[in-house]
């Protein structure tokens, strides 16, 4: 079985002022992923969108104090996200996880 994993964002779930372009791309990615999933049903291709919340990455480190505070505690680590993706792609064929929202434990949005 092949896997297509698209990386989305919680911005695909709720529209917010000042986030119109981000919302456009993220809502669009969800629609694209669902259409692709339907096109490949029965072809042994699993298609999923994973929407990670705050993850500790170089981007966050480079922004420093300019980074918006989205959580009050510890962000997820990249290995947490990798573990979530692994959970999706090792399911038996009879199970299809089509969308997964993964957030840091203290993230509120």
Question: Hunting for tokens 């999923």 — which residue is that?
Answer: 48
pLDDT, residue 106, reads: 76
Residue 55 pLDDT: 79
Lowest mean pLDDT among 3-12, 34-43, 49-58, 88-97: 49-58
- Give me 85's structure tokens: 């993706």
Helix, strand and coil percent figures for the chain, each rounded to 5: 40, 20, 40
Give the CA count within 13 Å in the CB-facing half-sphere of 3. Answer: 18
Query: DSSP assignment, residue 74?
Result: P
Secondary structure (3-state) at 5: strand
- What is the predicted pLDDT for the residue at 70? 53
With beta carbons less than 8 A apart as the criterion, state whether 1 and 90 touch: no
pLDDT band (50, 70, 90) for residue 1: confident
User: In this predicted structure, what is the pLDDT of residue 90?
Assistant: 94
Return the closest-CA partner of residue 49 out of 62, 66, 36. 36
Per-residue pLDDT tens digits for 54-106: 777 766 565 555 555 555 668 889 999 999 999 999 999 899 899 999 888 77
């Amino acid at each position: 079985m092949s896997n297509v994993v698209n990386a989305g964002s919680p911005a695909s779930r709720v529209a917010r002022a000042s986030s119109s372009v981000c919302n456009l791309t993220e809502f669009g990615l969800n629609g694209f992923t669902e259409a692709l999933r339907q096109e490949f049903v029965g072809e042994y291709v699993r298609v999923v969108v994973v929407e990670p919340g705050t993850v500790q990455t170089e981007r966050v480190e480079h922004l420093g104090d300019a980074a918006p505070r989205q959580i009050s505690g510890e962000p997820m680590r990249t290995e947490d996200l990798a573990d979530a993706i692994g959970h999706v792609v090792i399911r038996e064929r009879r199970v299809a996880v089509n969308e997964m929202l993964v957030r840091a434990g203290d993230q509120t949005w």
